[in-house]
Every structure is written in structure tokens, then in C-alpha cells.
Amino acid sequence: MVLPTVAIVGRPNVGKSTLFNRIIKERLAIVEDRPGVTRDRNYAPAEWLGHKFHIIDTGGITWEDGKIEEEIRAQAEIAIEEADVIVFLTNVVTGVTDLDEKIAQLLYKADKPVLLAVNKADNPEQRSNIYDFYSLGMGEPIPVSSSHGTGIGDLLDTIVDNFPADSDTKDDDTISFSVIGRPNVGKSSIVNKLLGEERVIVANMEGTTRDAIDTPFVAADGTKYRLIDTAGIRRRGKVYEKTEKYSVMRALSAIERSDVVLLVLDASTGIREQDKHVAGYAHDAGRGIIIVVNKWDLPEKNSNSAKDFEKVIRSEFQYLDYAPIIFVSAETGQRLNQIPELVKKVYANQNQRIQSSVLNEMLLEASKLVPTPMIKGKRLRVYYMTQVKSNPPTFVVFVNEPELMHFSYQRFLINQLRDNFDFMGTPIKIVARKRK
């Protein structure tokens, strides 16, 4: 689950977003297929020859009243901190500029591979001009044309060759989770309390940079976890960390790398618009979700308070009906020790496999409960169901006509699955296929 990250850096107008869009094209098309998707366009999953990775267009992260020099500095800082491979993009039409040289200066400090790509090399004549770029001291320039699509394959080959040797690997028995939420809900307090628990053994953090960001630990029962850091939880103070887009990007990056996501809400302020954005990202990514209501020490309470708050959550986050809710206080420590156990349970649920014979028994019972829908005189026939994937659990239903599989019937089947099996905390996907 720990995927490498690639960052594109460069001055304005060299073609960063064009290159970014070209690299993520296919994935984005799939992602956009689903309704309600709220992806940040500066950060996206990508894939090349079976290698999955994440890509960041650092230029797309805008700064209010940012001077160009500051912007460039922040871009380089983000790339140096976040990325495993940095693509430094330049423009053959303008040649090497002062700003290119400034960026090169900043990137010399990076302790990671920097690939120098020269964009807008649309034709042989321009490709012959790329040799000027050796002067940047970044090694061999790679000519690309982001708008024509030439050279992109060679660039991607080089990117993939430079991925760290340990990427794409993960202990299979380690559960990755992250703590996300808008600023001040108490994310860092929760993380610090969780890791500070005396019964938790935090592995020592030498080694790769990635280990310095993610904290592996072993709980009292021997379960191995990896806590994925999100924006500013453990390292504060950088100017760019305060920008909304940057924190969204970090949250997305953490979600992508997690099995389970803790969505933290603040009991003292109630639910805000920004909470919904964050929740939407986690849901779209198909990860396990636990809703953590923090600062439960603050509100005045009676015996119905938790129930009342839960009602509000359920109506504000209807699509998260599968997520368990836990009321905690990072201040007093109330119920925090239940979190690892709950994460473990959700992880088990999202990884379980249900036998086809059991599923089909369920289908038979379901068909007795509710007749299949009829559209324009044609009735949906459901023949067979099988689980094709776990994490998240994904089921294929073979039917006479996939178009007859309405959202409401899909919903009904998902509810049947939830009633019959324990899928608490995990989204479920159903795909209708035509029986051949």
C-alpha cells in the first residue's frame, strides 16, 4: 500500500499541468465516472506498466498573494519532502531561464532522484535544442512533448526505474491507518496519545524518509499497525502547510496509502462544511472508515447526547452509513484505547471473502423478500453472485440486462450483504454483468 510519489516541479507555463494530465489520463477518466467524486486535481493516482504511484503537480498548489519566487521555493520544498522521484520540467522553446537556474539550485539539496525533462520538444528541430539544458547540472535532459504525447513513455520508464527499491512492498500483516480531519479537531492530540500509550511499542524510526513520516507500532495483542502521517500532524510550522490545497493533498495522499481512515470530528463545534469534503475523499477512495468524535469531554451531556450526535452525523454523512462512530477525548484519554481494536475489526471486515455458495443462498432469500425491478416491461433477472475482490469487498452479479440493475436494487443487495455478514466500516461495491 505504500506507493511511490512523483512530483512535477517547474516555473509557470512550462507545461506541468499538461504533463500531469497526460500521465494520469486513464485513471482520472475512471475516477470521474463515479458520481460525487471530489478529487483534487493536483494530486492523483497513476500507473505505468503495472507500477502504481502517486503524482503531484506542485505548480497547481496556489498561494494567495504568493510571489513567484516564494511559490517556486514552496514547490521545491514540497517535492523534496513528499516525493520519491522529482521531475523538473523546463521548456525548450524559451531555453534555460534564470528561474530554471533558481529551481535547480533548490533541487540540488534534494536527496532523491531529480529527472530533468524538457517539454514542448514537439519536433526534431526542437529536440536538437535540448542539449543547452545540460548547463543546469541535472544530468541528461529528457525531451518530451506533453501536448503531443511524445517522449512520455521514455520519461515514465525513467521515473519507474528510479523508484526506491522498497516501494510497493508492505508487511502483509501490517494494518495501515491514518487520522484525517479539518484543522483543530484534535488529530495530532489523538496521534500523540495513541503512540504515547505505554502498552504500544513504537518501532525505531531510522531508515528511509518514509519511515520518519509513518510510524509503525505493535499493540499489546501483537497486532502490527502503521500510522500514516497527514498534513502537519508531526511536523508543523512550514508556511505551505497552512494552505488548504496543500493539506487536502496531504490528506489524499494519506488516504490512498491507508487501509482504514479515522475521520475526526469535533464535538465542541459540530459538523462543518470542510468535514464533509474530507469525508468525501475518504469515501471515494473506497477505504475503511471510522468516525471519531473527539473532545467528547467538552459538551454538556445527558443520557441522549451520544445518540443525538449520532443522528446528526448519520443525516449529514448519509453515504457513510457503514462507518462506526466512536466518542473519544484526546484530553482525558476516554475510549482512545478502543481505537486500535476497532481499526483491526474494520480491516478484517474489508478483507473477508464470502463463498459463492453462501452468497447465492443469500440471493435466493433476497429474491423472496423483494421482487426484482421491472423497467419498460422487462424484469431484471439475477442469476448468480460472486466476490471478485476484497478491500473493498467487490461483488459481481450476473444478470440478464445490466441496465435493469437500478441504483435502488443495488442498494438493496448491499443492505442484504450487510445484514448477513459483518461489513461494518467498509464500503461495498457491486458490479452488474450480463450473463453470457
Q: Which 303-342 positions form the footprint of ligand GDP (CB under 6 A)?
A: 329-331
- Residue pair 262/335 in contact by the 8 Å Cβ criterion: no
Q: Which stretch binds ligand GDP (CB under 6 A): 6-14, 162-170, 299-307, 361-369?
A: 6-14
Rounded Cα–Cα distance for residues 309 and 431 (Å): 34
- Closer Cβ to ligand GDP, 95 or 402, answer by number: 95
296 annotated as belonging to a binding site for a ligand: yes
State which of positions 80-139 bind ligand GDP (CB under 6 A): 119-120, 122
H or E segment to which residue 176 belongs: strand 174-180
DSSP code for 145: B
Separation in Å, CA 316 to CA 21, 31, 288, 392: 33, 23, 18, 23
Q: For residue 302, with 0-12 CB atoms within 10 Å meaning exposed, 13-18 middle and 19 or more buried, which class applies?
A: exposed
Instruction: Name the DSSP letter for residue 109.
Output: T
Nearest to ligand GDP of 68, 212 (CB atom): 68
Tell me how far apart the alpha carbons of residues 15 and 410 are, in angstroms, rounded to a whole number: 42
CB 283, min distance to ligand GDP, A: 20
Q: Does 243 bind ligand GDP (CB under 6 A)?
A: no
151 touches ligand GDP (CB under 6 A): no
Report the nearest approach of ligand GDP to the CB of residue 295 (Å): 4
Residue 35 to residues 157, 330, 397, 430, 433: CA-CA distances in angstroms? Answer: 33, 35, 21, 15, 20
Asked if 187 touches ligand GDP (CB under 6 A), the answer is yes
Please state, as a whole number, how many other Cβ atoms lie within 10 Å of the Cβ of residue 199.
10
CB-CB contact of 56 with 74 (8 Å): no
For ligand GDP, how many residues bind (rule: CB under 6 A)?
Answer: 31
Closest approach of Cβ 390 to ligand GDP, in Å? 31
Query: Interacting stretch for ligand GDP, rule CB under 6 A, among 177-185, 198-206, 277-285, 372-380?
Result: 177-185
Q: How far is the CB of 189 from ligand GDP (least distance, A)?
A: 3
Task: State the nearest-atom distance from the C-beta of 127 to ligand GDP, in Å.
Answer: 11
Q: Annotation-wise, does 307 bind a ligand?
A: no
| Interstrand relation of 215-218 and 201-202 (parallel, antiparallel or unpaired) | antiparallel
Q: Is 153 annotated as a binding residue?
A: no
Residue 124 assigned as binding residue: no
Q: Which residue lies nearer to ligand GDP by CB, 181 or 286?
A: 181
Sheet-wide strand order for 5-9: 43-48, 51-57, 5-9, 85-91, 114-119, 142-143
38 binds ligand GDP (CB under 6 A): no
Nearest-angstrom CA–CA distance, 106 and 185:
34
Site map for ligand GDP, 274-303, x if CB under 6 A?
--------------------xx-xx-----
Which window, 182-190, 315-323, 406-414, 425-433, contacts ligand GDP (CB under 6 A)? 182-190
Find the binder of ligand GDP among 75, 145, 243, 387 (CB under 6 A): 145
Locate 46 and state its grid cell.
Answer: 497513476
Q: Is 372 in the site for ligand GDP (CB under 6 A)?
A: no
Residues 39-68 contacting ligand GDP, CB under 6 A: 59
- What binding mask, one character per residue, do residues 216-235 give for ligand GDP by CB under 6 A, x or -? -----------------x--
Residue 381: partners with Cβ closer than 8 Å, 6 or more residues away: 372, 399, 400
- Tell me which H or E stretch contains 290: strand 288-294
What does the longest C-alpha to C-alpha distance in the chain come to?
Answer: 77
CB of 31 to ligand GDP, least distance (A): 20
Asked if 53 and 3 count as a contact pair (C-beta separation under 8 A), the reply is yes
Residue from 5, 42, 146, 243 binding ligand GDP (CB under 6 A) = 146
Known binder of ligand: residue 17?
yes
Distance of closest approach, residue 19 Cβ to ligand GDP, in angstroms: 7
Cα angle: 255, vertex 339, 198; to 5 degrees: 115
The verdict on whether residue 50 carries a ligand-binding annotation is no
Edge to edge, the sheet with strand 215-218 lists: 201-202, 215-218, 224-228, 174-180, 260-266, 288-294, 325-327
Closest distance between ligand GDP and the C-beta of residue 208, in Å? Answer: 24
Question: Between 103 and 413, whose beta carbon lies closer to ligand GDP?
Answer: 103
Please give the single-letter amino acid code of residue 358: V
Per DSSP (E only), the strands in 85-173 are: 85-91, 114-119, 142-143
10: contact with ligand GDP by CB under 6 A: yes
Q: Which residues bind ligand GDP (CB under 6 A)?
A: 10, 12-18, 59, 119-120, 122, 145-147, 181, 183-189, 233, 294-295, 297-298, 329-331
Residue numbers in the known binding site are 10-17, 57-61, 119-122, 181-188, 229-233, 294-297
Q: Per the annotation, where are the binding residues for GTP?
A: 10-17, 57-61, 119-122, 181-188, 229-233, 294-297
